[in-house]
Amino acid sequence: MNARVLFLLTFLSTTISAQHPVVLMHGIESNAGNMVELADWVSTTFNRQVINVELGDGDSYSTDTPLWEQIDAFKDVVCNNTILRDGFDFIGISQGGLIGRGYVLRYNSPPIINLITLVSPHGGVYDKNLGFIDLYNPIAQSTLSFAGYWRDPTHLVRYQLFSSFLPEANGEKQLKRNKYLQALTNFAMVFSPNDDIIKPQSSGIFDTFNADLTILPLENNPIYTEDWIGLKTLNETGRLHTHQTNCTHVEHRMPVCFSQLYPILFKYL
């Protein structure tokens, strides 16, 4: 074996071993089993060690447990895995992306290096056809995870007062603001105009509904203009990225969407 070949093999071995593991987090009413195809593809395609996280029993736990409690459980999983002690990249789909972002805001030790979210409702969710349901009551907030990111644009005062998760996570409660997201190497968000679950679809990139259900884009929202949680700083330093696919919501964890995800994930993994 000549010196040049030996050098290349050594370089490749060192590069692969230096890469961080990738942690996957499933969404609501789902489980780690539903993420196996995505986990296998990421591992094979990007030559990365993948940790496919399950919290509780998956399906019911992801629905019936408030998000900050799920984030606490995620922290315990991460801290108890020595493979992750030097940091990791994170891919979360739907609600799973909120768990990853919440982990950065509240703990981030060991740190997430690249935070990648797929069709995650960063700007909250709302459906006018369900607006008659009071999801800000204490029972809903303590027993339904999605109640914590239900953002009714016609009742923002009640949302800010009683929502258990999103107002804090998005810096809408002034005393709860922090900019720990600035520690990320990259924050990449993927949304789809064909998302058949999240409303508004561009909530995946922090857009929100106005009271008349028109869209308020992130760049016009105080969360960005006043840099409540560090998104503006990330953007101005080239570390905030938005991407689009044409996949449906759940297709983002299925092979039908992998060809669209590849050029996106390639930038960060």
Check if 134 is active-site.
Answer: no
Q: Which of 122, 243, 249, 252 is catalytic?
A: 249
Catalytic position from the list 89, 195, 207, 227: 195
Residue 148: which residues within 8 A CB-CB, separation 6 or more?
66, 67, 68, 141, 163, 164, 165, 166
Q: Is 195 a catalytic residue?
A: yes
Pairwise CA distance, residues 188 & 181, whole Å: 12
Torsions phi, psi of 149, nearest 5? Answer: -125, 20
Q: Is 94 a catalytic residue?
A: yes
CA distance from start to end of the chain = 31
* Burial readout 207-228 (b: 16 or more C-beta within 10 A, e: otherwise): bbbeeeeeebebeebebbeebb
Active-site choice (62, 94, 120, 145): 94
- Both structure tokens of 123: 């700007």
Cα–Cα distance between 48 and 19 in angstroms, integer? 7
Catalytically active residues, by annotation: 94, 195, 249
